[in-house]
């Protein structure tokens, strides 16, 4: 039985990846950090019905000693580094923490592997936010980076250090430059889930408006369930490499909101209110990915259509509020 070690196991991607790997017969070990809200830690895993099937272990990306201990104890076949301070807006408020966790944390993980278990295959969760102020209308693996947030800068450091450890120490280390990927398990602070949660509240009479920031920003949105398969495929290759993972379709925040409201039988224009407080200090106006390399070398492509994903998220949020109401 293969062993997979996942940091960020309780997040959206960690939960879907865990379910995917369990379906392939893996023993899944998930690292969690100590939290005062420990009763909520496994909510996404519980939602997928897999909480009891995962071995949860204590550790923290900013504590190298814990990573060394875990790599030496468990010696996993594959390591997926998904943990991060991953909310872009927060990274301006906590830039040092973001740099320490999202940037240096990845290097701690790489160093623990190099010292204790260099034969493991390593996946780094890179981000399309690294492209930032885009240098080309469509972004692929050769497009120059121009990060526009502390989060993106930290991700870029982790990305290049992954390349460095691959080239310097021969680690089987790959990075997935994932464009935006969403699901009913997305945190409500992210714009897509903020929208579908708002639609659910309005549909049920719990709210009368939805506040949004830059509705003209465009993103390449896919489903997290599709994207975690790409992570696994990267670690099955003989040669490690970096891959853009995207749908190749870009729509605006306003268009996504329109899809979500329409699914609930509502007109978005009747409820959306622009809120300057939700604008970023430096905006990434457009992201549009080219995943041709992943299609050719990994055989990967996105399957879930954007409209279907928006509908799934709205339905899940409506169901959540209905359960709360009893």
Pairing type for strands 251-252 and 218-219 reads: antiparallel
pLDDT (tens digit, 9 = 90+) per residue, 100-114?
999 999 999 999 999
Same domain, 141 and 171: yes
DSSP string, 93-125: HSHHHHIIIIIIHHHHHHHHHHHH-TTSEEEEE
Distance CA 204, CA 118 (A): 53
For residue 229, the enclosing domain spans 3-181+221-245
Asked, for residue 268, whether it belongs to a domain, the answer is yes
CATH code, domain carrying 258: 3.90.25.10
pLDDT at 40: 66
Q: At a CB cut-off of 8 Å and minimum separation 6, what does 33 contact?
A: 58, 59, 60, 61
One domain for residues 85 and 214 = no
Domain annotation covers residue 293 = no
Instruction: Clarify whether residues 138 and 198 are in a common domain.
Output: no
The confidence score (pLDDT) of residue 12 equals 97
- Considering the domain architecture, whether residues 215 and 226 belong to the same structural domain is answered as no
- Residues contacting 246, CB < 8 A, separation 6+: 128, 178, 179, 220, 222, 288, 289, 290, 291, 302
Same domain, 83 and 161: yes
Q: Which of 290, 211, 286 is nearest to 251 (CA)?
A: 286
Q: Average pLDDT for consecutive 10-residue bins of the chain (326 residues)?
A: 97 98 98 72 92 96 98 98 92 95 98 98 98 97 97 97 98 98 96 98 98 96 98 98 98 98 98 94 93 98 98 98 90
The contacts of residue 326 (CB under 8 Å, 6+ apart) are none
Same domain, 97 and 144: yes
The per-residue pLDDT for 129 is 96
Catalytic residue set: 127, 129, 151
User: How high is the pLDDT of residue 89?
Assistant: 87
**What pLDDT, on a 0 to 100 scale, did the predictor assign at position 17?**
98
Number of domains in the chain: 2
Report yes or no on 296 lying in a domain: no
**Could you give the count of Cα atoms lying within 13 Å of 184 in the half-sphere of its Cβ?**
17
Domain holding 230: CATH number? 3.40.50.720
pLDDT of 37: 56
**Residues near 52 by Cβ (< 8 Å), separated by ≥ 6?**
none
Angle subtended at Cα 82 by Cα 77 and Cα 83, rounded to the nearest 5 degrees? 120
Q: What is the DSSP letter of 280?
A: -
Number of other CB atoms surrounding residue 296 within 10 Å: 9
210-228: pLDDT as tens digits = 999 999 999 999 999 999 9
Is 138 part of a structural domain of the chain? yes
Indicate whether 11 and 142 sit together in one domain.
Answer: yes
């Amino acid at each position: 039985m293969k062993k997979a070690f996942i940091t960020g196991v309780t997040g959206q991607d960690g939960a879907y990846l865990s379910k995917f790997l369990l379906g392939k017969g893996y023993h899944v070990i998930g690292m969690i950090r100590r939290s005062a809200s420990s009763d909520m830690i496994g909510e996404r895993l519980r939602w997928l019905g897999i909480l009891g099937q995962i071995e949860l272990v204590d550790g923290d990306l900013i504590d190298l000693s814990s990573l060394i201990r875990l790599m030496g104890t468990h010696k996993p076949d594959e390591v997926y580094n998904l943990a991060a301070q991953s909310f872009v807006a927060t990274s301006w408020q906590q830039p040092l923490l973001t740099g320490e966790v999202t940037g240096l944390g990845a290097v701690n993980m790489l160093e623990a592997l190099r010292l204790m278990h260099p034969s493991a295959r390593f996946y780094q969760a890179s981000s399309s936010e690294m492209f930032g102020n885009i240098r080309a209308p469509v972004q692929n693996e050769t497009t120059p980076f121009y990060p526009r947030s502390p989060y993106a800068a930290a991700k870029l450091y982790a990305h290049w250090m992954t390349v460095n450890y691959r080239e310097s120490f021969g680690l089987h280390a790959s990075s997935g430059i994932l464009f935006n990927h969403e699901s009913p398990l997305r945190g409500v602070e992210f714009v897509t889930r903020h929208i579908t949660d708002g639609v659910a509240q309005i549909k049920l009479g719990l709210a009368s408006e939805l506040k949004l920031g830059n509705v003209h920003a465009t993103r390449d949105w896919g489903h997290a369930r599709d994207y975690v398969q790409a992570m696994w495929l990267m670690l099955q290759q003989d040669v490690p490499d970096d891959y853009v993972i995207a749908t190749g379709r870009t729509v605006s925040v306003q268009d996504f909101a329109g899809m979500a409201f329409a699914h609930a039988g509502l007109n978005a224009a009747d409820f959306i209110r622009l809120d300057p407080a939700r604008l970023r200090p430096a905006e990434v106006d457009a992201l549009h990915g080219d995943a041709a390399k992943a299609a050719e070398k990994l055989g990967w492509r996105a399957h879930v259509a954007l409209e279907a994903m928006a509908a799934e998220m709205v339905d899940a949020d409506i169901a959540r509020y209905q359960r709360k109401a009893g």
